[in-house]
């Protein structure tokens, strides 16, 4: 009789724990669905706005870096240039360019 009442208490407690677990999982599922729906609605326009705001300054910066690099070309007139594959193709063209037109 003591064992059966203890078993009833354990089963009742397990049932309550299961209900609490199912309830908390359901609430978590509802919250996750709400967050997912919010991100599906808000994220695409926000990302487009963010990219449009940052793209122009990034392109201007990249253009300025390119101009700076093109103005500061390295002088290789007094340096040794090692060209591999100079027998034919692009290696041969590089050899002729560096030989006849030193920078």
Length of the chain: 103
Q: What does the pLDDT look like over 16-51, one tens digit per residue?
A: 555 555 566 667 777 888 888 888 898 888 888 988
Place of tokens 């360019």: 97
* Average pLDDT taken over every residue of the chain: 77
More confident residue, 78 or 37: 37
Q: Is residue 101 predicted with pLDDT exceeding 80?
A: no
Q: Is residue 66 predicted with pLDDT exceeding 60?
A: yes
Q: What angle do CA 46, 48, 53 make, to 5 degrees?
A: 95
Place of tokens 């695409």: 44
Query: Please, is 95 exposed, middle or buried when counting C-beta atoms within 10 Å of its C-beta (0-12, 13-18, 19+)?
Result: middle
Do the Cβ atoms of 102 and 77 come closer than 8 Å?
Answer: yes
pLDDT at 29: 76
pLDDT at 60: 94
Q: Is residue 6 predicted with pLDDT exceeding 60?
A: no
């Amino acid at each position: 009789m003591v064992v059966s009442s203890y078993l009833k208490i354990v089963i009742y407690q397990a049932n309550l724990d299961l209900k609490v677990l199912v309830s908390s999982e359901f609430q978590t599922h509802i919250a996750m669905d709400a967050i997912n729906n919010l991100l599906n609605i808000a994220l695409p326009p926000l990302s487009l706005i963010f990219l449009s705001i940052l793209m122009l300054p990034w392109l201007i910066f990249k253009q300025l870096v390119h101009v700076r690099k093109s103005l500061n070309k390295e002088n290789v007139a007094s340096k040794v240039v090692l060209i591999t594959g100079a027998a034919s193709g692009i290696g041969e063209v590089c050899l002729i360019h560096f030989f006849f037109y030193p920078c």
